[in-house]
Amino acid sequence: MSQSYTQLEKQFKRIHVLGDASSILHWDMAAMMPKGGAESRMEQMALLATLSHSMMCEDRLSDLLDEAEQEGGLTDWQAANLREMRRAHTHATALDEVLVEALSRTTSACEQVWREARAEGDFAKVAPQLKEVLNLTRQAAAAKADKLGCSLYDALLDQYEPDGKASEIDPIFEKLEGFLPDFLQTVQDQQKDVTVQMPQGPFAIEKQKELGALFMAALGFDFDHGRLDVSMHPFCGGTADDVRLTTRYDESDFTSALMGVLHETGHALYERGLPQDWRNQPVGQARGMSVHESQSLLVEMQVCRSDAFLTYAHPHMQQTFEGIGAAWSLENMTNLYRQVKPGFIRVDADEVTYPAHVILRYKLERALIEGHMQIEEIPERWNSMMKDMLGVTVENDRDGCLQDIHWYDGAWGYFPTYTLGAMTAAQIFDAIKKAVPDVEGEIAKGNFAPLMGWLRENIHAKGSSLSTKDLLIQATGKPLDPEVFIAHLKGRYSS
């Protein structure tokens, strides 16, 4: 191993630890921090962002990368780590320190205003801050696009989906757009005679948390290395050794928060399963957000809405809430979790309508980044597309363009990874069922070890050692194939 490479590992470990600290501060801001702490938190996060950026952009780092690449003599994992170091360095050095600090301050401030605007359902309240976020994001996109030799949108997408390109996403999404409307109508026609009863609450928050924690532990979540809290928007944050999950509760409906918890647990299990030996190095991190979302959606959608999981989970649901009557039957609970009904909220959407929510956001954020649309147009365009794509009429901004945190905290280019992740999840679970024939039988008994064992070996433990495409080929035998996702939807909802 070259001396240059050894020095790189030391520097990237320091950078990673700074990132971990920033992640914990962000979790605290979303889940615990009092409103009055916003100004000082903004200063703290801006400082960490600029420190990390300056460490990544040191002149000697560029020299070390050049030397290590020329010297060679690395193992496969070290070579992959060096590749990921170069990728991170390219992104970082595209931006100057002034822009990095401005982005950190502006997104932190915008996120705080968004919380107030969302509570009040008033997009106009946060529009000025969001306009500044977009302005700075477009500047960052232009700088990165120039260095990467790609479009503005692809430069942002690459931060979340390495080597991802809108030109590759477009035909996949067009295929879904062509398939979903007629299929949605078919499923709704089939379900119109199916009676679904919502169990009557109230459902105490403590009981909901107790049930969520039970399923988290069954899936393999280690509460010595993580926790579950409440925030306005569910997320998984923290670090690989201290994973912080959040959800939001509704005392009239326990099903939404529960699926939110299971979704974030999928993220958490991926983080915990990443290769321990490479924990503080780029190659030891998650392989992009489509893979990350595939792990959360595999748990939430593929597994936890399956007959097998509901067979296991139903008695625990009934016991926790002391439910009696037809609404608590296994048949009704299955119908409830399989109900396809267009709605306003993405995180509550069923598998069939979910892609429409993502495609809408993808189209809008591309238009905004590429300058074909202005911030002030968001509510009208959002509401119009919701009507066209899902047939629902959005009555307020809270249920419309204020529902997601992503744009307000600076995560532009993230949204397509949700549906790419859903398709990846379907393909991975299809491969698991072929490799472990009785995996569903074990899930029905509450034994998730075969499922998680396969994921740990074939997905989690790989970290970023492989490209997304190669990871999927190695795990499933082929690159992403939307037909597998379509076959899954047909099998679950129209058979």
Select which of 84, 111, 132, 264 is catalytic.
264
Q: Which residues contact 125 (CB under 8 A, 6 or more apart)?
A: 113, 116, 117
Residue 232 and residue 31: Cα distance in Å, rounded? 8
Tokens representing 343? 């709605």
From the CB of residue 434, how many other CB atoms can be counted at a distance below 10 Å? 11
Cα separations (Å) of 287 from 39, 64, 167, 296, 399? 33, 24, 20, 14, 32
* Identity of the amino acid at 138: R
322 catalytic? Reply is no
Give, as one character, the DSSP assignment of residue 465: S
Please answer whether residues 8 and 61 qualify as being in contact, where contact means their C-beta atoms are separated by less than 8 angstroms.
yes
Q: What is the CA 211 to chain-centroid distance, rounded? A: 23
CA angle 258, 30, 267 (to 5 degrees): 45
Helix or strand or coil: residue 151? coil
Residue 49 and residue 394: Cα distance in Å, rounded? 37
Residue 283 and residue 426: Cα distance in Å, rounded? 25
Please give the positions annotated as active site: 264
